[in-house]
Structure 1
């Protein structure tokens, strides 16, 4: 693909270079490369496409919302009930318990790996070397 693209750029450059003021149509270069016409669709691949300006849309929406808010009476949101707060606190405690359990498992696994002498010394040194790199 890289080779095809570079060949296409080369042929396109030759065509562009041959066109200029004061040159007749017989003096201009026309590519006869087999894939030139097939790759013409790539000419506009680097030109940016038309995009919607979302900033102006957001401003107009916020202006409309502001006028609607002044027309209607503002009602503040209802305060959260205590039951919802208790559930949130309980779920945080559950998350903390899970985290402490996971940390404990990791610590015991690390201790077991350190105490295991079944791994040869050259393997340990190689693994530490790779880890350091």
Structure 2
């Protein structure tokens, strides 16, 4: 496994409240792994962990060529599994990975995500 560093940026002040998500003590490994079993969602989480430029990102930042309804589904699945936290900024939702929560519940999981090498066909 490589020593790829997870980028964590400080939380800015005055953030909107997060959208509904499971509390850290209710995060379940099978739910998290189920959400990460989709290659697109795994790519989203990996990009957030390794390439974040801001505290959180809108879906446009990812450069994914998918219909908006499909992206909405994938980002909701990540949030409902407890992997990401989403906040509403006007009409835009922004996401970031719940690094501290996931590390507390499942030590080493995010290191596996960052060590994963996406196939070249996507």
TM above 0.5: no
Query: Which structure has the greater CA radius of gyration?
Result: 1
Normalised by the shorter chain, which TM-score bucket? under 0.3
**Structure whose residues are more often helix by fraction:** 1
**Structure whose residues are more often strand by fraction:** 2
Q: Which has the higher contact order (CA 8 A, sep 6+)?
A: 2
